[in-house]
Amino acid sequence: MATDKSVMVVIRASRPSFRNNYDKVAFTVHASFLASGFVLTATGPPAFSDTALSSSSTDEVGIDHWNEVDGEYAFVYANPEKGSKKVLVKCLVMNDKLLVDALADGSSEPVHLEINVGDYVGENGDSNYSTQFKNLDRLVKSLDSEIFSKLDGSSKASSSSNLRSSETSDGSRPYVNEPVSRVPESPGVFIHPSGVLYPPAYPVGGSDLFPGPGAGMYPHRGDFGSGNMLVGPNDPRFFGGGGEPGFPGAQPGVPPGARFDPYGPPGVPGFEPNRFTRTPPRRPGSGTHPDLEHFGSGSDFI
């Protein structure tokens, strides 16, 4: 692990020439890699090559042309202690910050750190390197926690980040359109994720879907209506009788916005609207359910 003292030793030994404050912070990043046991294999324009990370060369090079590109820095390192595994480091100047990204060979996701340059550069511009920096210990610790400690586990971090991306920030799963059998909920306006509003509808058939409670649940059969999926024309739930609610905001048995559509041409006998009214609701024990009755006779039966 690099320390502020070991990083300053590398800076003094390298005797770099700084053009601006961004150069100072970028070279501190480089010195931290050297102090952590890495060796420099490419810098400057060669490090910007598309094949810089895949190159088989592990020969150590100097720092010539390291700050030749304005606003950008690139370094390629190898770690002899870990089989000469290479790491590509790029720094980008953006406003008052230096953005640092490091990508290990074989990893799919880089590690990232944003450095506020003004927090670590001293106002004294003399030749003494120690006075050209401030809060160097804090910068080295940030590099260690955000760059070096994550480089070894970058592949694990990428897989765990993909797993976390399937959950929202509060830990809940995002909407997934999966067919699920569930107990009917209380009526209300349902908002689909697409934004479509569905009108309220009373649930039917909860007891048929779930004939008995699960383990550890109290017995309960009190869903809306009779609790089964056999719904006839005289079913009490259409009339709001028996202490059960009808359709909200409308006459009993009439859904909101309902209208009568004639079954035939106007004025033809047998198709008057009053011919299609319901009989009074059948009460429990009053006789055979209409769905189970045999066909009768008369003009009402076709």
Q: What is the pLDDT of residue 13?
A: 94
pLDDT at 79 over 80: yes
Give the range among 18-22, 115-119, 152-156, 163-167 with minimum mean pLDDT.
163-167
Whether residue 118 is contained in a domain is answered as: yes
pLDDT at 164 over 50: no
Q: What is the pLDDT of residue 236?
A: 60
Task: State the amino acid at position 267 in one-letter form.
Answer: G
Structure tokens at 131: 């006075």
Whether residue 61 is contained in a domain is answered as: yes
Beta bridge partners of 87: 77, 104
The mean predicted confidence, pLDDT, of the chain is 73
Whether residue 127 is contained in a domain is answered as: yes
Q: What is the pLDDT of residue 32?
A: 96
pLDDT at 52 over 90: no
pLDDT at 69 over 70: yes
pLDDT at 33 over 90: yes
Give the E-state strand segments of 169-208 in sequence order. Answer: 190-191, 197-198
Q: What values do phi and psi take at 89, rounded to 5?
A: -120, 125
Whether residue 117 is contained in a domain is answered as: yes
Whether residue 20 is contained in a domain is answered as: yes
Q: What is the pLDDT of residue 262?
A: 58
Q: What digits encode the pLDDT tens for the residues 123-151?
A: 776 778 989 999 999 999 999 999 999 98
Which has more confidence, 180 or 17?
Answer: 17
pLDDT at 41 over 70: yes
pLDDT at 14 over 90: yes
Range among 18-22, 120-124, 151-155, 263-267 with highest mean pLDDT value: 18-22
Give the range among 28-32, 251-255, 262-266 with minimum mean pLDDT.
251-255
Query: Judging by beta carbons within 10 Å of its beta carbon (0-12, 13-18, 19+), is residue 44 exposed, middle or buried?
Result: middle
Share of the chain above pLDDT 70, in %: 51
Q: Which CATH number characterizes residue 96's domain? A: 3.40.1000.30
Whether residue 249 is contained in a domain is answered as: no
Whether residue 25 is contained in a domain is answered as: yes
CA-to-CA separations, 184 to 176, 188, 207, 225, in angstroms, rounded: 19, 11, 10, 12
**Which strand (E) or helix (H) includes residue 168?**
none
pLDDT at 268 over 50: yes
Total number of domains constituting the chain: 1
pLDDT at 167 over 80: no
pLDDT at 248 over 70: no
Q: What is the pLDDT of residue 161?
A: 47
Q: pLDDT band for position 290 (50/70/90)?
A: low
pLDDT at 36 over 80: yes
CA distance 214 to 65: 72
Whether residue 179 is contained in a domain is answered as: no
Q: What digits encode the pLDDT tens for the residues 193-244?
A: 666 665 555 555 555 555 555 555 555 544 444 455 566 666 665 555 444 4
Domain membership of residue 46 as a residue range: 4-150
Residue 47: strand, helix, or coil: helix
